[in-house]
Amino acid sequence: MARRQAETTLDGTKPICIDTGGKPARWVVFVELPPTADGRRRRKKVSGPDPASVIAKANEVLNDRAKGVISMERLTVADVVREWLRTKQAVSPATLSNYQTVATRHIYDTRVGRRTLRDLKPDDVRELLRAKQDDEGLSPRTAKLIRTILVAAIGQAEQDGLVHHNVARWAKGPKIGQTRHRAMTEKQAKAFLKAAQGHRYEAAFALMISLGLRPGECLGLQWEDVDLDSRTLTVRHGLKRTGELGSVKNDGSRRQLPIPSKVVPLLRTRMKVQEKEREVAAKYWQGDAFDLIFTSLVGTPPGDRNFARAMRLVCEKAKIPTFLPYELRHTAATLALLAGEPIEKVSRMLGHNDIRITSNVYAHIRPRDLESVASTMNTALWGKSG
């Protein structure tokens, strides 16, 4: 008596037929895999020309799942990327979240993501980057980040002996032009500060536009970080988008800066205003945990959107284009460089780990340096009378 062929997989899933538009039919089944470290659902697509072959393949995956492994032959690029992200530690939570978002949107459910690691070719990666840019309109910077994730994840698999070559490295990433950061002119900056007079964030705006603080660094300042008598402040923390207070971006970001004399009375005013707000809020005051300088009316950290909205309204009042909070930092760097401050000092003010970062970002806004070079060459070639 012939043995009856199974109609479902070991977990009871029945294959389904996919319409291929006139081509030979394809049968597929989705096998549930163990969830990711953050609890996200994972499924593996198994396909074949007939139900029997699909069930056989799916049962192999289920058996491997029961053993806690995924066989090398079926290890996909998506599997490798997920594992790399799960073990990635040497980045900030915000950066890791960005990686996870890019991988979810642009890698996992693509031809590259579904392809087995051993079958991946450089052309597959090139085609993915081309399609993401040309067909979906993705920016070169995001496309480059896709390649960066693939190179790093497959590189880790290469180190673990899962693959002999990191083919993603052979696929060149898109070229990215130099980013031009917007900054206020000196006239616009003065108009902005004048329009901000009396605003609850006047001192914050003044600190950012004069010292180049990042928005999170400024909003994360605590009263213990400033010494108004000696006119110094210490950047130690950064306010995250979640409202939590975390460490600064890197070692270079931890720095002590002199407070401009015009900003000191603004901070003293802010202190008095906050004391009044504390009295009005009474039992509803929530600002004692962090003791932040810049807070809401009840002492909670100011939200990103509220801060950006406040800045937009000040720009409108000043009758200048709308600038974002981070562009106050670029304004500080730009005006300092245009005033002739050495780039080394500006780099330390900004908290850059490497002066080359400052040079690369602000290389296009040092015209006075170039004027001095032109003058020197003029004298050397044609004499002082030239």
pLDDT tens readout for residues 263-281: 999 999 999 999 999 999 9
pLDDT in tens, 12-56: 888 888 766 667 778 888 887 765 545 556 677 788 888 888 888
pLDDT at 165: 83
pLDDT at 77: 93
User: Mean pLDDT across the stretch 103-110?
Assistant: 92
Residues 296 and 212 in one domain: yes
Domain of residue 112, CATH code: 1.10.150.130
CA pair distance 150, 103, nearest whole angstrom: 9
CA pair distance 305, 104, nearest whole angstrom: 26
Number of domains observed in the structure of the chain: 3
Within a domain: residue 377? no
Within a domain: residue 385? no
Q: How many residues does the chain have?
A: 386
Angular region, 246: left φ>0, alpha ψ -120 to 50, beta rest:
beta
pLDDT in tens, 118-161: 889 999 999 999 888 888 878 888 888 999 999 999 988 888 77
CA pair distance 126, 117, nearest whole angstrom: 15
CA pair distance 271, 226, nearest whole angstrom: 11
Residues 190 and 143 in one domain: no
Q: Is the pLDDT of residue 343 over 70?
A: yes
Confidence of residue 108 (pLDDT cuts 50, 70, 90): very high
Residues 170 and 316 in one domain: no
pLDDT in tens, 76-90: 899 999 989 988 866
Residues 353 and 365 in one domain: yes
Confidence of residue 370 (pLDDT cuts 50, 70, 90): low
CA pair distance 324, 315, nearest whole angstrom: 10
> Where does the chain show beta strands of DSSP type E?
16-18, 26-33, 42-48, 226-227, 232-235, 237-239, 245-247, 255-258
Confidence of residue 65 (pLDDT cuts 50, 70, 90): low
Q: Which residue range(s) make up the domain with 279? A: 186-369
Residues 61 and 202 in one domain: no
